[in-house]
Amino acid sequence: MLGILRGLRVTALGALRKMNWTLAARVAWVKDGCTAMMPLPQTRDLVLIGGGHAHALVLRAWAMNPLPGVRLTVINPDPVAPYTGMLPGHIAGHYGRADLMIDLVRLARFAGARVILGRVAGIDRTNRMVIVPGRAAIGYDIASVDIGIASDLPNLPGFPDHAVAAKPLGPFAAAWDRYLVALAAGRVPGQIVVIGAGVGGVELSLAMAERLRGMKLAASITLLEQADTALPGVGTGARAGLLAALARYGVTVRVAARPQAVTADSVVLEDGTILPAGFTLGVAGARPQGWLAETGLDLEAGFISVGPTLQSSDPLIFAVGDCAHMTHAPRPKAGVFAVRQAPVLLHNMRAALGAGRMRTYRPQGDYLKLISTGAQSAVADKWGLRLDGAILWRWKDRIDRRFMAMFHDLPAMAPPQVPRLLADGVAQHLAATPPLCGGCGAKVPGGALRAALEGLPAPARADVIAGAGDDAAVLTHGAGVQVITTDHLRAFTPDAYVMARIAALHALGDVWAMGAAPQVALAQVTLPPMSDSLQARTLAEILSAAGEAFRSAGADLVGGHTTIGAELTIGFTVTGLADRAVTKGGAKAGDALILTRGLGSGVVMAAEMAHAALPDGLLGEAVAATLTAMQRSGRTAAHLLRDAHALTDVTGFGLAGHLVEMLDASSLAAMIDLSALPLLPGAEALAGAGVRSSLWAGNKVSVTTRVTAPDSPRADLMYDPQTAGGFLAAVPNALAPTLIAALRAAGEDAAVIGHLSAGIPHLTCN
């Protein structure tokens, strides 16, 4: 373990290599007398399936020395992955949740990889596609599997409904925390049954007993083992130490105990014994994930068979960690092997992609096991000796914290150096301007845009009812109207499928905000330089996501245009039909202001782009929640607000900017209750830490004389640019409660945030 930590730690040389590669990756293309800076083309797809320890280490090492031309992707169901070594300490109360979680979203951004949040259900080896339900398949040239194991007991009646498995670790830790809250409130009985008395079951039983002792909660723990002896396979000395620890905590150990069924409040044994249980935990053995059986790969007891190079029977697919079986050197399931496989896996995947020759992985014959015993003490299992005490726990704690520090304390990469000679103003602009955010953080500030639009000629055609100034242009169409809008977004996530869905919904927002039903859409896509195969895969993801979004909205994607540029940009031009257009004007004094979606997408995505850490949580979870919010269709919300006096969508100019536009159009003033603003998870903490989107300053300056607000993070979020944001509606005050109830039933985080009044157009916040 310590050798791997030394081998993978970040050095100043590693950071310098990363910076040099970043600079070298940008080459000047000279053609027809024109020079443009373009990134090197991507030609190969490397896909990591699962966020296990080996893959996490690969991501971190890749950031230090990426292979140019490779698009790296990691697929995992959750934005964070727990480190197994610290789980018992978390259950016991020694570590907070954030201490043992690897933030895969933040790590992937650091590595220049795209992260796809989804649960893999299969691999189509013929077409080299990874199947993730709910989205387009992901193509690969080389893939690696590191998905761990499960410890549930699906064949035990009642287990799926009434028990929790120790693996996956995240759901177990969350279920344990919920049980403790319910136990403290007296809502559940204080009996705990743990199925499986191996090392994992014993260690978690001791951890739970320590947590109960620390919280002064009364509960009994019964540990079941179907063999005749607890802790099979553990050395004599360590076994004696662990059994002594169980006795000290009063944990009951029952051997030759075979569960027959699990009920809502008990575990029934084969001999008829009924054990009361308010919390049932399964830690019995290792079970492979079922979809592996459908891959056609060679398996051993359901686990992927791999050879010395960590390749499966398909040389394009590697496997590591607990989901793999090393045919050349079988070993028990243990995290130490996944950690030590990481350097060889990285080297061999690079070789498979065209860089170098394969190496072999030779696992050690034995290794030191440090097993925590509830309190801050541990037992060492090696050579059959009995070694235990607080010093061993401190040693284990130091190793675990050093391992996690590699993921929590990501080094700051030096930015590329700018030329020595610059025109006047360039250095000042670079110093004053934060890195350009994607989404609506990348648009021109409102002040500059309004100045430009002032010179735009008035529409000359009689069928143009309204041009620039509202959410969409309005044209006459038979007895009704047609609206037309266009929106283009720089990619703020490298997941082309998610980015396309967000861009489509963002463009649809303008049509819905005008009270129109979407009609048709044209796509405009700029792809970064990449090979023909990667172009085809990327466009397939984009068109799949966009087509589904427009079909669900009742519109057709009828064509568009593609081009190659420096970065991924996706846009859509959308038309819609309505009997009449709902505009920003028309609001009335006394109207309630409804905001349908939480603010903060700009600050969250800016933090992710900067590799920032969330002050009071895990940034990856905030990013995942934000991406989920941006992918929620506004169709139902727009329908519910169809009779609003005034309606607009909150996007690039932030809540304050779009509300001021409504006040100007309606000649009214507004009072906002900042405490009522719905916010996305993590947004207020990031704003309080000073994180800002690149458009934030321009948004604030453009309305600074029109807004009276306190100096606070919540007030700052009114200027945060939103992408695929919610709707801001002015509705009769009497209808507001009914509308809020309907919007929340539809899944929107809607709230009444203030009211309108007669007066000079001005926004006051308290």
Domain with residue 593: its CATH number is: 3.90.650.10
665 lies in the same domain as 765: yes
> For the chain, what's the residue count?
766
Count how many domains the chain has.
Answer: 4
Alpha-carbon distance of 389 to 200, in angstroms, equals 19
106 lies in the same domain as 204: no
Catalytic residue among 34, 323, 437, 440: 440
Of 532, 561, 582, the residue at which a domain comes to its end is 582
Q: Do 566 and 718 meet the contact criterion of CB atoms below 8 Å apart?
A: no
7 lies in the same domain as 145: yes
Residue 143 in 3-state DSSP? strand
Residue 22 has pLDDT above 50, yes or no: no
- DSSP annotation of 85: G
Q: Is residue 260 part of a domain?
A: yes
pLDDT digits (tens, 9 = 90+) for 363-419: 887 778 899 999 999 999 877 677 888 999 999 999 999 999 999 998 876 666 777
Residue 29 has pLDDT above 60, yes or no: no
pLDDT of residue 59: 97
Sheet holding 375-381, edge to edge: 369-373, 375-381, 387-389
Give the residue with greater pLDDT, 465 vs 1: 465
Q: Report residue 611's pLDDT band, with 50, 70 and 90 as the boundaries.
A: confident
Residue 350 has pLDDT above 90, yes or no: yes
pLDDT digits (tens, 9 = 90+) for 668-696: 999 999 999 999 999 999 999 999 999 99
141 lies in the same domain as 28: yes
Domain that residue 308 falls in: 2-149+288-367
Alpha-carbon distance of 378 to 266, in angstroms, equals 31
Sheet holding 138-139, edge to edge: 122-124, 129-131, 138-139
757 lies in the same domain as 733: yes
Residue 89 has pLDDT above 50, yes or no: yes
Q: Is residue 397 part of a domain?
A: no
Give the residue with greater pLDDT, 7 vs 451: 451
7: left (phi over 0), alpha (psi -120 to 50) or beta: alpha
Of 319, 343, 367, the residue at which a domain comes to its end is 367
Which residue, 473, 439, 759, 469, is CA-closest to 629? Answer: 439
Q: Is residue 633 part of a domain?
A: yes
Sheet holding 303-306, edge to edge: 299-300, 303-306, 324-326
739 lies in the same domain as 601: yes
- Please give the mean pLDDT across all residues of the chain: 90
Which residue, 64, 28, 408, 383, is CA-closest to 237? Answer: 383
pLDDT of residue 620: 95
Burial 58-90 (b: 16+ CB within 10 A, else e): bbbbbbbebbebbbbbbbbebbbbbbbbbbbbb
Domain with residue 226: its CATH number is: 3.50.50.60
Read off the amino acid at residue 709. Answer: A
626 lies in the same domain as 643: yes
Judging by beta carbons within 10 Å of its beta carbon (0-12, 13-18, 19+), is residue 716 exposed, middle or buried? buried
pLDDT of residue 33: 38
Catalytic status, residue 323:
no
572 lies in the same domain as 587: no
Burial 580-606 (b: 16+ CB within 10 A, else e): ebbbbbebeeebbbbbbbbbbbbbbbb
Q: Is residue 403 part of a domain?
A: no
Of 367, 389, 418, the residue at which a domain comes to its end is 367
Q: Is residue 440 part of a domain?
A: no
Domain with residue 536: its CATH number is: 3.30.1330.10
Q: What is the mean pLDDT of residues 97-103?
A: 94
Q: Do 530 and 583 meet the contact criterion of CB atoms below 8 Å apart?
A: no
- From start to end of 349-479, where are the E strands? 369-373, 375-381, 387-389, 464-466, 473-477
Q: Do 279 and 287 meet the contact criterion of CB atoms below 8 Å apart?
A: no
Residue 102 in 3-state DSSP? strand
Q: Is residue 381 part of a domain?
A: no
Q: Is residue 766 part of a domain?
A: yes
Give the residue with greater pLDDT, 6 vs 157: 157
132 lies in the same domain as 225: no
**Positive or negative, the Cα torsion across 321, 324, 329, 331?**
positive
Q: Is residue 374 part of a domain?
A: no
pLDDT of residue 38: 63
pLDDT digits (tens, 9 = 90+) for 442-499: 777 666 666 666 666 677 666 777 766 556 788 888 889 999 999 999 999 999 999 9
101 lies in the same domain as 133: yes
Q: Do 603 and 536 meet the contact criterion of CB atoms below 8 Å apart?
A: no
500 lies in the same domain as 488: yes
Rg (CA), the chain: 29
Q: What is the mean pLDDT of residues 176-189?
A: 96
599 lies in the same domain as 539: no
**Rounded (5°) CA angle 583-588-592:** 95
Q: What is the mean pLDDT of residues 305-329?
A: 96
**Which long-range CB contacts under 8 A does 88-91 form with residues at least 24 apart?**
88/203, 88/204, 88/206, 88/207, 88/372, 89/207, 89/372, 89/397, 89/400, 90/173, 91/173, 91/176, 91/204, 91/207, 91/208, 91/211
